Amino acid sequence: MLSVFTAHCGTRSGGNLFTDEDGYTSVATAVALLVSISLVFSVAAVEWTIARSADVQPVADACAMAGENTVAKYCTIAQVVDASVLSMGLTGMAVLGAGLVAAAIPGAQAVSIKTISMGRDILRARQRFAKSAASGLHKLEGALPFLIVANSASCVSSNSSNSVSLVGAAVPFPQESRSRFSSIETELDGDEVADRAERLRDATRRMEEAKARADEARRIAWQADCVDSPSCLCSRAASLAGLGVEEVPRVDTPEAWGFSFPINRSRAYYERRFMNEAPQGSDIESITDSRAREAFYEYALGEVYSAYCMHEADGHVSLYVPHLARNSNEMRDTWLYWDARWPCTEEEEVGRTLHSTWSCPGARGEDAGTDSVAAVEEGAVRECPECRMSVHDLGAVASISTSATNGYEHYWQIIVDVAPMYQSARNEQADAELEMQRIAEEGDRAFEEALSRLGAPRPRLCPPGAWGCVAVVRRSAGTAVPSELTDAFLSASELPAGVAVAAAALAPDNATKGNDVLSHFFDGVGGSSGGSALGGVAGLWGRLLVAYGNRFEGLRGEVDGYVGSMDGLFGGTVGSWLRGRIVWVLGSLGLEPADMRMRKPALVGTDQVLRKAGIEPTGKLRSMVQSLPSQGSALEVAHALGCWVWDERGGVGDVLAELPIPGTSVSVPLTLDLGDL
């Protein structure tokens, strides 16, 4: 440094101004120090200017992030609301489905009424909540541009200081809401399902009453056939005809018994009695009694062979158990009364006479063919005074056996009496079951149709700022370079004006792929619900709410578990079929999966945001930079940037919506602190 000055300065005797014989002079030293210090302070001033100029870009970045962070918080709110509405709809439909299934289960009518009422209450609560939530979200989206501008401008303002003045804000794109909440506001009342459930309960009651009558008739018939009280068909068949249980088995329970058992037993019994019948003495009276019994057994065998019991595939029963004549009067109505089977002789003086057998002592005349006991009463043939064969002998066989508790026909008559009762009741039961199946199919279709409304596309969230926020920040001119850097060695200078732009958009945070937000949300509202409700409705809602972000995996299992937890739902053909259908329909709904990852703002290129909004980036940015004022309020800055927002916070109250808790009478207010946004 000194050599430079020496080379260009004048000389004096013996040297120059900066050097002498001893080397550099004190003047040279002073000048060198002054120049060096000036350079140091100049570099410091330049570095300060560069640093302050660069500071405006981080502020612009923070401004864009602050604006988009408001959008991220709104999206979280909207997702929770959508999850609540959808899961409440699923819960209500699941409860309605359980009530519809219970309507087809005998003995579960009270449960069905209560469950259907609960399901409709849940759907009505869902509707109220959906309307209030949709209204709240609409209002919130209306206020969102202002909140974005206010939040971003506040960020810029907080970075200003006495030495550096900054002004700017973030502009959301789109600037107006383009969200669609039609699926949230979809009406879902379940009235058709409730109507089918009521009709199904009526049919089930008729079926249940008819089944009770049929079961009682079958029990009485079973007891007469298999239970000694004091005796039964089975015991009398063994005692009187020698039939063992291996030939005609005894049945232990009425559920395993059918009318074919006494029919087959009686066929074997009368066949054995007819084949083995023999007089118990040699006198004509014993022979006549035996012949009467033989005729009765033949008549009875023919009658019981006409009996039948057929069960149709649709549950109807064709049943015929013939009535056997019990006395002489009833015998006159049988074919045996008119059957010309009895031998006749032509007796002297008295004429044609009817006998019980050819060996009758009174049969002394010529053979006169055969005739019926009816002919005796009509006077066409004379009654034999020896054997006295008549309709009264035939009637006596049936009368004695029917009236005595040790008679086979006594227990047969019990079965005969209850058979029409069983057939009528069983066919009424079958008719009711067919009607139940028909109504159940209608209910299934109504359930599926109502549920299909839940399968509509999820709400299309496109609030202001959904595509991103573009921030423009200006540093005003006139900011002086610190005097301690310039006063002593440099002339005073000022920092020139500067502008920076930045953009931010929402990006999913993979670290939040689970459902922590919804789990914590349900914990909060569930703790206010005062406990569980009918059949674990609140618990079901909580599980379906959390499942919202898991593509509703296990939905079918959750619903099946809830429906199956109700008593008695495993009985009944119609109920089992309907249960399977309800669970299948719910599990096959094919709901559009929800991405529940948290959205966080991330810096992106301004071109990306503007082009998505359909705006040519270069011209738009130039316009925004040129129109940005050097000072003004947040709204003035936003308006200057072409974002016409107003303070619409007055349209959004502290309560965003009222959330009724399914299964309870509790409503939890969902409060919103705008300060957090």
Give the number of C-alpha atoms closer than 13 A to the C-alpha of residue 343, restricted to the C-beta side: 18
- The C-alpha atoms of residue 464 and residue 617 are separated, in whole angstroms, by 19
Question: Coil, strand or helix: which one is 38?
Answer: helix
- The C-alpha atoms of residue 213 and residue 653 are separated, in whole angstroms, by 63
Render 95-139 in DSSP notation, one character per residue. Answer: HHHHHHHHHTSTT-HHHHHHHHHHHHHHHHHHHHHHHHHHHHHHH
Handedness of CA 560, 562, 567, 569 (dihedral sign): negative
pLDDT at residue number 48: 56
Asked if residue 494 has pLDDT above 70, the reply is: no
**Residues 178, 181, 187: CA angle, nearest 5 degrees:** 155
Query: Looking at 191-195, 218-222, 458-462, 647-651, which range is the least confident one?
Result: 647-651
pLDDT at residue number 1: 46
Handedness of CA 390, 393, 395, 398 (dihedral sign): negative
Task: Give 620 or 556, the one with higher predicted confidence.
Answer: 620
pLDDT average, residue stretch 616-644:
76
Q: Quote helix, strand, coil % in the chain, to nearest 5.
A: 55, 10, 30
pLDDT class of 548 with cuts at 50, 70, 90: low
What whole-number percentage of the chain has pLDDT above 90? 33
Query: Looking at 36-40, 548-552, 657-661, which range is the least confident one?
Result: 548-552
**Residues 532, 137, 661: CA angle, nearest 5 degrees:** 10
pLDDT class of 52 with cuts at 50, 70, 90: low
Asked if residue 12 has pLDDT above 50, the reply is: no
The per-residue pLDDT for range 112-151, each reduced to its tens digit, is 888 888 888 888 888 888 888 777 888 888 888 888 888 8
pLDDT at residue number 534: 46
For 490, residues 6+ apart whose C-beta sits below 8 A from its C-beta are 38, 41, 42, 45
Q: In what order do the strands lie in the sheet with 366-371?
A: 366-371, 342-347, 351-354, 382-383
- The C-alpha atoms of residue 126 and residue 133 are separated, in whole angstroms, by 10
N-to-C CA span, the chain: 61
- The C-alpha atoms of residue 260 and residue 252 are separated, in whole angstroms, by 15
What whole-number percentage of the chain has pLDDT above 70? 72
* CA 533 to mean position of chain CA atoms: 16
Beta bridge partners of 328: none
Residues in the chain: 677
- The C-alpha atoms of residue 594 and residue 577 are separated, in whole angstroms, by 31
In the chain, what is the greatest distance between 2 CA atoms, to the nearest angstrom? Answer: 208
Question: Coil, strand or helix: which one is 28?
Answer: helix
The per-residue pLDDT for range 465-483, each reduced to its tens digit, is 889 999 988 877 555 555 5
pLDDT average, residue stretch 622-632:
77
Query: Looking at 376-380, 416-420, 448-452, 599-603, which range is the least confident one?
Result: 448-452
Asked if residue 46 has pLDDT above 80, the reply is: no
Asked if residue 90 has pLDDT above 50, the reply is: yes
pLDDT class of 42 with cuts at 50, 70, 90: low
Question: Coil, strand or helix: which one is 211?
Answer: helix
Neighbours of 281 (CB within 10 A): 10
The per-residue pLDDT for range 372-398, each reduced to its tens digit, is 999 999 999 999 999 999 999 999 998
pLDDT at residue number 124: 83
pLDDT at residue number 480: 55
pLDDT at residue number 570: 47
